[in-house]
Amino acid sequence: MQEVMWEAVKTCDAAYDGAFFYAVKTTKIVCRPSCKSRTPSQHNVKYFPMFSMAVQEGFRPCKRCRPDLLVIPNEEAIIQTAQQMIEQEYGSNLTLHVLAKQVGMSKYHFQRLFQKKVGKSSLVYLTDIRLGKARQFLAETELSITQIGHAIGYNSSAHFSVLFRKQVGCAPTQYRNQVRGDQS
């Protein structure tokens, strides 16, 4: 593996960006494999699977290839995955614990990252998606309130009704009548 990584460093192979980082012991700088800086001597190179690990050992990010900025797309990808999961599996029991575990982060870090990237907590995001679906079901289907509650992940229809009233401003049945009344 060291040979493969060394080859990537020598050829500035961008395909390995994010797969690993390399640091130069003499300059105390950490780079992406694709960095166009002068190729260091092989015996001065140290490899890291993660950028943060190099920083922990005292290496500074290269100003030319900015390996510190490469961390951001990874965070974006994590949050996108979580959002997709919420959008597709809003009907199941998606707790913070489940979401954090799915993307391989601690609950604490996931919660903070999600809030930072999306502007609301994952729970609020999930509730928004669920209530959006509920409105759609109420307007377009003949499903009962209990069935809709189940379909969007609430086992108790009372809980669903209370939440709906709080967020939308009227009971689910009222909403259905209003929407249908407007349409006819």
List residues near Zn ion by CB under 5 A. Answer: 31, 35, 37, 62, 64-65
Q: What residue has token string 């009971």?
A: 171
CA distance 103 to 81: 7
The catalytic residue among 31, 35, 62, 65 is 31
> Is 12 part of the annotated catalytic residue set?
no
The β-bridge partners of 31 are 22
Q: How far is the CB of 2 from Zn ion (least distance, A)?
A: 19
According to DSSP H, which parts of 104-168 are helical?
107-118, 122-140, 145-151, 157-168
Residue number, 9 or 138, with CB nearest to Zn ion: 9
Q: How far is the CB of 15 from Zn ion (least distance, A)?
A: 16
Q: How far is the CB of 39 from Zn ion (least distance, A)?
A: 11
Q: Please answer whether residues 23 and 54 qualify as being in contact, where contact means their C-beta atoms are separated by less than 8 angstroms.
A: yes
Q: How far is the CB of 22 from Zn ion (least distance, A)?
A: 9
Residue number, 37 or 111, with CB nearest to Zn ion: 37
Residue number, 72 or 98, with CB nearest to Zn ion: 72
| CB burial readout 40-62, b (16+ within 10 A) else e | beeeebebbeebeebbeeebebb
Q: Report the residue number whose CB is nearest to Zn ion.
A: 62
C-beta pairs of 154-158 under 8 Å, 24+ apart in sequence: 154/130
Residue number, 39 or 157, with CB nearest to Zn ion: 39
165 Cβ partners below 8 Å, 6+ apart? Answer: 171, 172
Q: Point out the residues that are catalytic.
A: 31
